[in-house]
Amino acid sequence: MLISEFARATDLPVDTIRFYISKGLLKPERSAKGGSNPYQTFRREDVTAARMIRLQQTLGYSLGEILALNEEYRAGEQSCERTIAVLQKQIARLEERKAALDAALSFLHGKVNWIKAGKRDDAPRLEDYQC
């Protein structure tokens, strides 16, 4: 499929697809059509790859990490132990982010409640929430 069809199939903007290609995250085939500027053609596997990239981004991986992990996977270097280690590392990172977000939310809720109460006493201080 051509890039416009691929964009519809993945629900990604064409610019995002081109960006992923420039970073090496997607590797479409070049067709004989298009002369000196051959068309890029995408396979069903590329749709799956694009969806995995979006999932990995949602899980907090950087594009550099996604590229490294995907190259490792393509090379067949992923063992169960390696996969578990990568996932556990990301879980720890997400738990740290969650703790920081929970503290920030507690601060904001405290601030709202303080305002609703007529700003009595001292205002909640961000330092007290370990964000």
Out of 78, 98, 120, a domain closes at: 78
- 53 with 104, same domain: the answer is no
In a domain, 34, yes or no: yes
- Under DSSP, is residue 114 helix (H, G, I), strand (E, B) or coil? helix
- Percent of the chain predicted with pLDDT > 90: 67
User: Based on the structure, what is the number of domains in the chain?
Assistant: 2
The answer to whether residue 128 sits within a structural domain is yes
Domain of residue 1 covers 1-78
Assess if residue 123 is contained within a domain: yes
Residue 131 is predicted with a pLDDT of: 59
pLDDT band at 16 (very low <50, low <70, confident <90, very high): very high
pLDDT digits (tens, 9 = 90+) for 43-68: 999 999 999 999 999 999 999 999 99
> Residue 10 and residue 111: Cα distance in Å, rounded?
41
Q: Is the pTM of this model over 0.75?
A: no
3-state SS, residue 96: helix
Kindly give the pairing relationship between strand 29-30 and strand 40-41: antiparallel
Do 52 and 15 lie in one domain? The reply is yes
| Distance, CA of 8 to CA of 99 (rounded, Å) | 37
Q: Is residue 108 part of a domain?
A: yes
Better pLDDT: 127 or 19: 19
Question: Is 84 among the domain residues?
Answer: no
pLDDT averaged over every residue in the chain: 89
DSSP state of 122: P
What mean pLDDT is predicted for residues 78-100?
91
- 95 and 43 in a common domain: no
Counted residue by residue, the chain has a size of 131
Residues 110 and 60 in one domain: no
pLDDT of residue 39: 86
